[in-house]
């Protein structure tokens, strides 16, 4: 199953409306085109952006005619910075 990142607050509001009294979800549905901060509107926008981003990456790989190797494992040190794992071998160079 593929996953995307979405904002927590709009997702919480939508889920509460779904499991709450029916007028809550109806209110959200009725205001999707009026309220830019409507959770449904925000989540749909995030979903579409994620799909577009995924399609762009896929198209870029197809256009380049290459299959990219997997990204190296990342390790976070105590300072909070991220560094590459020293044991990772560059698969694209065959080393």
Tell me the whole-structure pTM to 2 decimals: 0.59
For residue 73, the tally of other CB atoms under 10 A from its CB is 9
Spell out the per-residue pLDDT of the chain, length 95, in tens. Answer: 788 899 999 999 999 999 999 999 999 999 999 998 999 999 999 999 998 888 877 776 666 666 666 666 655 555 555 555 555 444 444 44
Whether residue 39 contacts residue 31, with contact meaning beta carbons closer than 8 Å, is answered with no
Alpha-helical regions (H) of 1-95: 8-19, 22-30, 39-64
Cα distance between residue 56 and residue 72, in whole Å: 22
Identify the burial level of 6 via C-beta atoms within 10 angstroms of its C-beta, where 0-12 means exposed, 13-18 middle and 19 or more buried.
middle
Q: What residue spans define the domains of the chain? A: 8-68
Which residues are CB-neighbours of 25 under 8 A, at least 6 positions away? 17, 18
């Amino acid at each position: 199953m593929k996953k995307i990142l979405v904002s927590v607050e709009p997702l919480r509001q939508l889920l509460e409306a779904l499991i709450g009294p029916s007028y809550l979800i109806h209110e959200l549905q009725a205001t999707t085109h009026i309220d830019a901060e409507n959770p449904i509107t925000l989540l749909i926008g995030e979903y579409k952006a994620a799909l577009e981003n995924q399609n762009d990456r896929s198209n870029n790989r197809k256009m380049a005619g290459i299959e990219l190797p997997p990204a190296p494992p990342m390790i976070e040190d105590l300072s909070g910075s991220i560094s590459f794992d020293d044991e990772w071998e560059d698969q694209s160079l065959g080393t």
